[in-house]
Structure 1
């Protein structure tokens, strides 16, 4: 199998930015865009509602080229087959995280929620607003737990129907070199070098949080102290 492109799907706060940077640094395959161009996001940064509508429209118009927003419910194979990108040339990746750790991350960084509950107990029980590009017919998710279940079920379905690889975030931070090697082998993708290049700094620009911090936080399950 010789695949030319990689498409990554994964929920917010699951480490997609980190895995994307690893792929770009270490593999030769083209990573299909999963976010809107930076210039588009900057242009409407002072108009949040309009910004989201414009980004929704962007992904609606460009789905055939990029296969959608990286945080969307994974699309059906039938929809993918109607795109202009040959499925046989695309390797699908799905990034998942421990649901309890993920809920804490989402509570800390509730991206795309205009008015999240401050209390964690209320937060995990409250409805989660959806976006047009989320592939959920504009219906709010009953709560973040339901959203996690639906997103992960969609990854399992597409992985079964179209092939690809499911990656646990915990495995990624445990041994990122091994995960990149496994992706390259499964997809028949060449590595740029025999030397693995990691991302040591926080991809979110968080102070005092680097690769070593995240590795210990998740592998030692330090997040449990926050439950």
Structure 2
């Protein structure tokens, strides 16, 4: 919510855009100095794997760059982490890879992308027991996992095409669609491949349609 408010402000007020950029640069400096988290440290001064009340600084920087429309900054930061601490970079790869691909660094993306169909069996298993569009108030887990699966495949396709392997990219797309066990999963996956964000948009539209009668009543 805070970043959404920053976006509205930065879009309408140029000094706010500059202020957010300056704060982004400070967060990058702190991350490169070893500060992986932002927020409170309620661990009595002892670092823990998941400190209470703290969040990933890299995630915050990515959000700031999305608000600023500066994906190149995310790519540059990830490239620096790759050069200095590959294990740390691997933790953040899932957030950074879209910016790496947008920058055209397919060799870097190829080193960090995972097996694109690794979650296919899990998605099919969930589809046997969970609805794509659950009742209001229930988390859409199947749709979320399908979105993540398609994202992995889309990244792999972009890398393959970027490296001149168009036939392999087409084969991967076909393998995803053929491997999904249900027609509705395949239809949604195809929409998501063609336009990222389609599944989320459909979820929002259905939620609004379900909420509208209650509001009108």
TM-score by length of 2: 0.23
Give the number of the structure whose alpha-carbon radius of gyration is greater: 2
Q: Give 1 or 2: higher strand fraction.
A: 1
Higher helix proportion:
2
RCO (CA 8 Å, sep 6+): is it higher in 1 or 2? Answer: 1
